Structure 1
């Protein structure tokens, strides 16, 4: 028998073919394949033989993944992070561990390091049954799993939503948080507010930018709004962006930064340029970095409940595994605007023409 050409998993790696792939090749439902491979008499001998031949030629291995997922026999959950060194991840992972340890379930943490190949390799732990479920902190659904919709009920995204609406999401309302932060700056008399944003392709940074724009529009300052989407959201990106801002003839009197690290870098350069913070330029960040309170001046920021996000995300994943269903509505936790010295009352628009 010659198998038809296939895409996705079967084309890339025969060993990873699934019941869904076999069903597609045989022109039957996945449930029929499952019954045929288990020897059920409910399937005709001819169909059973055809399915068995397809499975054999495709290299299918019945490793009881689905049964393992339902029963949590692996007793391990995989957490995928983009960078293991990021300051925000330990609190989230701690919350995940707290939710899982009472069920005697372990946590495997894997860092993608920006590599799609690494991402796919990690995702295969869910496919092979090494992990019972997957928690994403990187905002990306591995391509390997995008071709296997039966696994979406075993995945939860925390903090960063993924493009697939079937994936459960636990986070905060970033747009609303940015509105509140911008409105606070407006309440201080600031009206030349700039938004220093992160990568435009990120749903988080897009939402924060939209919240800023909404607040400026509501204040009648839409034509004065300005968003700078940067390629990164670290300290060096903040420093570089602030150097460009300081080269202008007119400066903003406040900057809403999409991350605390952007704010740290921007404030450093502002102070090097003899700009008084917050008297001339006020700053608000995002994420409540541990350094923020000790920074000079202490950074006003949006505090994200990272540990609670991890705990609820893990609880949600357990519920998905037990009930084998989707949770399509995002679960949004409350955030807090922590007012510190970096956005004091100031004197409103400040920068004289240079």
Structure 2
């Protein structure tokens, strides 16, 4: 049992930390408030090869181990969680394409996705179907046969990260709307940017999670070649999407750790520097209790996240572990952000201090990649079925 990073992971973390401290931390607050897209930061992530985290080496990617994958999202979220979203949706999609795509699809897209020359995301959620993916209404009707076969897609997707930059965008559709159960009639199509009828209609305003766009996407008679069916076989879209969300939950857990770490850093520095009644506020026991609580929550969340990531590296099916890590870490992120705001007092409510942004970013962590209440059900069912053991 070893709770330490190996030498390669430490070097990777230190490189990331240096990048975040130099390129993200100094601009995050101003760019977030102005709504400026972080183009320069994206270019920096390209140079570091981070868009290839989930891409196999034979296609030019880093093929990063899952602990290093988690470290990436932790460090970037420490600087600005919204930036991690740009990389997160891209990585989930790359993982799905690398695992389930045909050789032709992988050869066509993965090399450019690894360098960031192309970016991608994943279009699952709809106005009437978020957690209940089997309730989607986007339909793909097949026309023609052989090399001339294509799908005609109609529907609307919501909350799509990277929608304005994704090429291709994997879209979850119903290729057989009459199938029972519904998931047997669901597939994923790789829709290329610029396809007629594919339109990004609006950016959705958000409380936090800024820096990346979250968009509504409308597909009106979009014609997609049958060769763009992920994996080449209909009816596997639900399984393909859910398998990729395992890494997505590690991603969210790690982002939560990054938020909690920044909350701790800001609270600790403020407690040392802010004076009241002739002494630093960190000398008061009430503040000390909050600082200690933040530190305990942070380290527990970090260890659970790394544990889940290491289980995936061991080749174990880890939907239970990733769900547990995501539930716990996301709730600690909000608790840490709240306590950091309390330590700051009135200044914690000011947009001139970082904790205000952390407080707005943290709640999304309990919603994204499956709400915590739904994931509690997933974990409980695995325990009751004997598929997971806690001892």
Q: What's the TM-score bracket when you normalise by the shorter of the two chains?
A: under 0.3
Asked which structure has the greater CA Rg, the reply is 1
Looking at both structures, which has the greater relative contact order when contacts are Cα pairs under 8 Å and sequence separation is at least 6?
A: 1
